[in-house]
A and B are shown apart, each in its own frame.
Chain A
Amino acid sequence: MEIAFDFGFLRVLRFEIASLVDDRRFLFGLVLQILIISLLVPFLVNYADKVGSGGNVLSTRAKGFVPVGFQGDGHRDILAVLGGFNRVKVIEVESWTEALEGLEIGKYCVVLGSIENDGELNVVYNEGDPRSLSAMKIIELISDSYMETHRRNLLEKKLTRRMENSDIAESEVVEEIEKMMETCLEPIVLSISTLAGGEDGKEEGLGEHVDPSPTGNSGDERIAKGNFLSLIFISLGLCFPLLSGSGIMIESITGEKERRILEGLIGSPVSGQSILLGKFTTAFVVSTIQGIALLIILGVVMRIQNVILISLFLMAVSLAVISATSLVAVISMGSKEANLTITVLYVMLFVILFGPLMLPGTVAWISPFTPMVRLAAGESLDTLSAMAPLLGCIIFTEISLIVCFRLFERDDYIFGPRPSFRELLVDFVSPRTHNLKNRATLVGICAGLATVPAIVFPSILLFPSVAIIGTLGIIPGLACAALVEEYFKPYGIYLLKPLPGRREIILLGALAGLVFSLIENLLFTVALLGMSTLGGSLVYIRYLLAPMLHVGLSVLVVEGFRRGGNFRATTLALATVLHALYNIVGILMVIK
């Protein structure tokens, strides 16, 4: 596309920046936002740390938590096993009161020790979220062990009683009991080991946590470099300056459009592209300054590393977000509409930015926040991995801005009425369809794209999981498919302006029908390949009747379109009914 920039955008930029600087309330808002986020993020990070360090503050009281007291000397074996896991902590406490209070508030999972003896008293808790699955498993296992030990105690007492009434030597009985106890304890120890994943994978079982790193760093390394949840909170805090930029963009495009200020600006000798670029740059500059200021503060307070590199990524994200906002601002005719749309955009944005962070492997790199989190944790990035999200942001920005410039050139996006998507397409293809060859190509492409429903429909029949839906709605489905196909098949002809003569329209209509049926048949052939039962009648219907039907019905629809008025709806309805009947007959023949 032709982009005609002049330096007028610098004048617009200068004025917009000066206006913002002159607006004390706006400046106060910006500074306040930075302050609030600077305070809030450390607080949230502290929260994350608390959660990560075993819930010293949080009372879990989660459903399923069963405070368990363990009595007896056998717990030492359990302690020995538990000591092998990095997330399972065992500490000694001074009194039973303290231990029981810990159990009560959910701080600890299990108390190991004896009430009767004054010996060592231990509590067990799980590092990380005390409500995690691994914590539950610890409780379950230790509960089992407790029950088992209790059972053994009973057994021991019974045996002792028997011994007292028998002739067997005491030493033999003791030996037998110890052997029995070992046998009882063994399955529990084994069970814990299994949970831990064997010798090599101990830390993966009870010490596991999410690892966004595509390079697969171990959990220990990650814990050493910072809490993942903390980094998420920091990233979330850095998103707020993006919202400021978006707000500026909405106000300076949609707001000015709404208040008719833009008319005076467009009347000036500065091109529309320069006006848009000036406003875009303003929003970008403000959000970047705010973002970097925030990053520096958080960097100092939270000891974040690689601040400069993170700034680079933040700027790339800022570019992409503000360009997407620009698109919304240009398309929207009012601030209310723009704000509503932007809310949906934010939701999508947060999913794109934060969703992949939770995913393992290379998928995580879809989000530009992945390298930011990695950098904040003090890790180094390889150039290729870093370039992927960076380039993604830049390409997205470029595409969005080009579309913005295109749309901003159109006065109907400023003064209304806003054009429909079809009108935009008509304007786009009109200059390119001056000769018959191009018109035929356009009609062919559109007919080809109209086969998408033809891909979806066989999938309903082929996949058992959706077959029930297909069966329930088969008749309406057939009718809907017919309507969609008949409407979209000759879509290329609707885009022609001016409309060609009758003979050419009929020819193009026939071409649309033919192209559609050829591609549809090809797709059916691929989809139904290997289904030996679907022969005979289907082959006849699909490969012989379908092309003739599609050509005929497309010609009918385009002739109605050419005549205009009620003919359009009538011919489309007639074609749909005939097509639906054909579909139903076809299906019945196949079933038979």
Chain B
Amino acid sequence: MSVLKADGLSKRYGNFVALRNISLRVEPGECFGLIGPNGAGKSTLMRIAAGILSRFEGRCMLFGMDIKTDPEKIKKKIGYLPEEPSLYTRPRAKDLLAYFARLYGVRDGVYPKVREVLQLVGLEERAEDRVVSFSKGMRQRLAIARSIIHEPDLLMLDEPTMGLDPATADRVRRFILSQRKSGRTILLCTHYMDEAEFLCDRIGIIDGGSLVISGGIEEIKGMCGGTGLIEVILDEPDLDERQLSVFDSYDLIPGGIVGRAQLEEAYDVLNPNGIISIKRIRPDLKDSFVMLTEGNGDSV
């Protein structure tokens, strides 16, 4: 049984269509990445799956239950980290976590559990401090601790490393990896391609509210890259209008051109500019993403 099974999900905000007929599956124990440009609909999809948005079309089943009919039961099995994990700032870290532990139905040993998760995210030293004194990275880790306080079966993380410094982001990634290794199902929403490639088993690329593609990372890279990409480095990289027009009929992506015939023609056109090097390169997820989303957004 799939942990998450979405069928024909659509969501509108007024006249704006945020999601169009999206269907996907997340299997137990896997880390599924939702990637796409800003405003593609990733967070909306995650909010629907987390039971936060209740007004949508289609069907969303989690653990075999419908999120519309059994939201409370499903939410107990979900740990959700919102895109902006705004927290109450007055309470102490431990009290905030204890509150959410109780909300999620943890009855016995609340504070030992709080200490355990704070240790897990490296905040055990700050348990007594008020949240207001925490840095952004610490708040993010505290929010992650909040999402795992009740030991959920499915962890939904919406942009967990956004806006963090490299060291903290790396720490968060290692934490997610540890969760994945422990067998927890993870739905990760990100627009960092390297992060998705590093953490996810499968990904789904969303653009303009539609699911463009979903599958294993290698599978998607293969589909987008074909036999690979050719990288051409020119002595004089500024091409004039005539030289650029040669690419009009080709499947051009920034940084590369595809296919042998294209290479030969390009060679003839580009030769006067002085070719420094020409080599076949292996496409990464970023290339696939840019190709599939036609360069929309500002993902890296």
Could you say which of B75, B82, B105 contacts A260, with CB atoms under 8 Å apart?
A: B82
Could you say which of A19, A266, A409 contacts B91, with CB atoms under 8 Å apart?
A: A19
Q: How far is the CA of A264 from the CA of B97 in the complex (A)?
A: 12
Q: How far is the CA of A21 from the CA of B75 in the complex (A)?
A: 30
Please tell me if A417 contacts chain B, counting CB pairs below 8 Å: yes
Chain B positions within 8 Å of A215 at CB level:
none
Please tell me if A398 contacts chain B, counting CB pairs below 8 Å: no
User: Of all chain A residues, which has the CB nearest B130?
Assistant: A22
Give B233 Cβ to nearest chain A Cβ, in Å. 46
**Is A23's CB under 8 angstroms from B75's CB?**
no
**Is B54's CB under 8 angstroms from A11's CB?**
no
User: What mask results when residues 39 to 77 of chain B are scored 1 for a CB within 8 Å of chain A, else 0?
Assistant: 000000001001111110000000000000001110110
User: Of all chain B residues, which has the CB nearest A20?
Assistant: B90
User: Of all chain A residues, which has the CB nearest B82?
Assistant: A263
A83-98 residues at the B interface, CB under 8 angstroms: none
Give A9 Cβ to nearest chain B Cβ, in Å. 11
**Is A264's CB under 8 angstroms from B82's CB?**
yes
**Is A268's CB under 8 angstroms from B88's CB?**
no
**Is B52's CB under 8 angstroms from A269's CB?**
no
Chain A positions within 8 Å of B102 at CB level:
11
**Is A269's CB under 8 angstroms from B72's CB?**
yes
User: Of all chain A residues, which has the CB nearest B44?
Assistant: A415
A417 touching B80 in the complex, CB below 8 Å, given contacts A264-B85, A264-B86:
no
Please tell me if A162 contacts chain B, counting CB pairs below 8 Å: no
A267 touching B82 in the complex, CB below 8 Å, given contacts A6-B72, A8-B103, A19-B88:
yes
Please tell me if A271 contacts chain B, counting CB pairs below 8 Å: yes
**Is B88's CB under 8 angstroms from A411's CB?**
no
Q: How far is the CA of A260 from the CA of B50 in the complex (A)?
A: 15
**Is B90's CB under 8 angstroms from A23's CB?**
yes
Q: How far is the CA of A270 from the CA of B84 in the complex (A)?
A: 20
**Is A267's CB under 8 angstroms from B52's CB?**
yes
**Is B105's CB under 8 angstroms from A259's CB?**
no
Could you say which of B47, B75, B86 contacts A268, with CB atoms under 8 Å apart?
A: B75
Please tell me if A416 contacts chain B, counting CB pairs below 8 Å: yes
**Is A19's CB under 8 angstroms from B104's CB?**
no
Q: How far is the CA of A265 from the CA of B143 in the complex (A)?
A: 12
**Is B86's CB under 8 angstroms from A11's CB?**
no
Please tell me if A391 contacts chain B, counting CB pairs below 8 Å: no
Chain A positions within 8 Å of B90 at CB level:
19, 22-23
Chain A positions within 8 Å of B121 at CB level:
none
Please tell me if B175 contacts chain A, counting CB pairs below 8 Å: no
User: Of all chain B residues, which has the CB nearest A410?
Assistant: B55
Q: Which of B71, B85, B99, B105 has the most CB of A within 10 A?
A: B99
Please tell me if A155 contacts chain B, counting CB pairs below 8 Å: no
Could you say which of B87, B91, B143 contacts A22, with CB atoms under 8 Å apart?
A: B91
Please tell me if A261 contacts chain B, counting CB pairs below 8 Å: yes
**Is A267's CB under 8 angstroms from B55's CB?**
no
**Is B54's CB under 8 angstroms from A411's CB?**
yes
User: Of all chain A residues, which has the CB nearest B78?
Assistant: A267
**Is B88's CB under 8 angstroms from A269's CB?**
no
A271 touching B52 in the complex, CB below 8 Å, given contacts A19-B91, A260-B82:
no
Chain A positions within 8 Å of B267 at CB level:
none
Q: How far is the CA of A267 from the CA of B86 in the complex (A)?
A: 13
Q: How far is the CA of A18 from the CA of B103 in the complex (A)?
A: 15
**Is A267's CB under 8 angstroms from B75's CB?**
yes
**Is A266's CB under 8 angstroms from B72's CB?**
no
Could you say which of A263, A268, A409, A410 contacts B103, with CB atoms under 8 Å apart?
A: A268
User: What mask results when residues 5 to 29 of chain A are scored 1 for a CB within 8 Å of chain B, else 0?
Assistant: 0101001100100110011000000
Q: How far is the CA of A411 from the CA of B53 in the complex (A)?
A: 6
Give A24 Cβ to nearest chain B Cβ, in Å. 10
Give B209 Cβ to nearest chain A Cβ, in Å. 16
User: Of all chain A residues, which has the CB nearest B53?
Assistant: A411
Q: How far is the CA of A19 from the CA of B52 in the complex (A)?
A: 25
Please tell me if A73 contacts chain B, counting CB pairs below 8 Å: no
Please tell me if A412 contacts chain B, counting CB pairs below 8 Å: yes
User: What mask results when residues 170 to 197 of chain B are scored 1 for a CB within 8 Å of chain A, else 0?
Assistant: 0000000000000000000000000000
User: Of all chain A residues, which has the CB nearest B72?
Assistant: A269
Chain B positions within 8 Å of A417 at CB level:
13-14
Q: List 16 A-B contacts (CB under 8 A).
A: A8-B103, A19-B91, A263-B47, A263-B52, A263-B82, A264-B80, A264-B85, A266-B52, A267-B50, A267-B82, A269-B71, A270-B72, A411-B54, A415-B47, A415-B53, A416-B13
Shortest beta-carbon contacts, A-B, top 9? A269-B75, A260-B86, A268-B103, A267-B80, A417-B14, A269-B72, A411-B53, A15-B99, A269-B76
Tell me the B residues contacting A by CB distance below 8 Å. 13-14, 47, 50-55, 71-73, 75-76, 78, 80, 82, 84-88, 90-91, 95, 99-100, 102-105, 143, 146
